Structure 1
Amino acid sequence: MENTHILFWLVKDISWCMIWKTLGLLMVGPTLGIAIVIAWRTRAYKSELAHNLAIVFWITANSYWMASEFFHFDAVVVAPGVTGKHLALVPFLIGLGILLYYYLVQKPRETRETQVATL
């Protein structure tokens, strides 16, 4: 499944690069869908879940950015200094936040629990 996921992701991004709108937009569903399934399947492992959720949000941001360019709202000003493309920062930052939480809170907690258990 992970290998198929990479194939879909590459086709989506190549389509974006080549401005093949239909194929690029069609690839969002399977690329994002498989990423969600992978995250769900790894939910028992906090490290894997955190990274896979970050990937889900990365693909979401990336797909939104692609769509903003395809439909020409990437340069539309939505607030002072913020364009349609900048809204992709929301899912990018959510993914980053998940990873920061994992590395700054969850992983140190797991390390402490492992150290206490071995004493």
Structure 2
Amino acid sequence: MLKSIRKFENLHIACWLLKDTCWVLDMRVLGIIMIFPTLFLAFFITFKFRKIVSEFYHNLAVCFWIMANTIWMIGEFYYDDTLRPFAIIFFISGLLVLMIYYGFIYRKLSAFQDSREQES
């Protein structure tokens, strides 16, 4: 499964870099177009990893990051950078996802694995 998803991850990185390059070069139309494959691949990868807890949470955080990044880009392109506060909400959401994972889920998984190793 990991090998098949790896191809999508690599394509996702290429789309993301192209989108951000368009942003930096002020190529508005192509930048806006690149939002769709970038977000699609991010959500697709997250869905595919839904059964692997650590991968799911990290990829969900990436989805929030890309949404924040997209809102920020659109704000700079068309709204005099006034959308940045909305982008911050998505950046914080991504951080919260990781805080939940590392604060609760990872600790429980680690404790469970430690208890299984001690039983062996």
How high is the TM-score relative to the length of structure 2? 0.89
Structure 1 residue 72 displacement after superposition: 2.3
Alpha-carbon separation, structure 1, partners of 2:74 and 2:99? 27
Letter in 2 for 1:95: G
Alpha-carbon separation, structure 2, partners of 1:89 and 1:10? 20
Does residue 8 of structure 1 match 2:7?
no
Structure 1 residue 73 displacement after superposition: 3.9
Aligned position for 1:53: 60
Deviations along 1:17-70, one digit per CA (max 9) or x if unpaired, are 010000000000000000000000001111000100000000000000000000
Contact persistence 1:73–1:85 (CA under 8 A)? no
Aligned position for 2:97: 98
Letter in 1 for 2:105: Q
Percent of residue pairs bearing the same amino acid type: 37
The structure 1 segments of at least 4 consecutive aligned residues displaced by more than 4 Å after TM superposition are: none
Contact persistence 1:32–1:56 (CA under 8 A)? yes
Structure 1 residue 13 displacement after superposition: 0.3
CA RMSD, 1 decimal: 0.9
Does residue 31 of structure 1 match 2:30?
no
Alpha-carbon separation, structure 2, partners of 1:66 and 1:107? 33
Does residue 65 of structure 1 match 2:64?
no
Aligned position for 2:84: 85
Does residue 43 of structure 1 match 2:42?
no
- Between Structure 1 and Structure 2, the one with more strand by share is 1
Q: What is the number of equivalent residue pairs in this alignment? A: 111
How high is the TM-score relative to the length of structure 1? 0.90
Gaps of 5+ in 2: 1-7
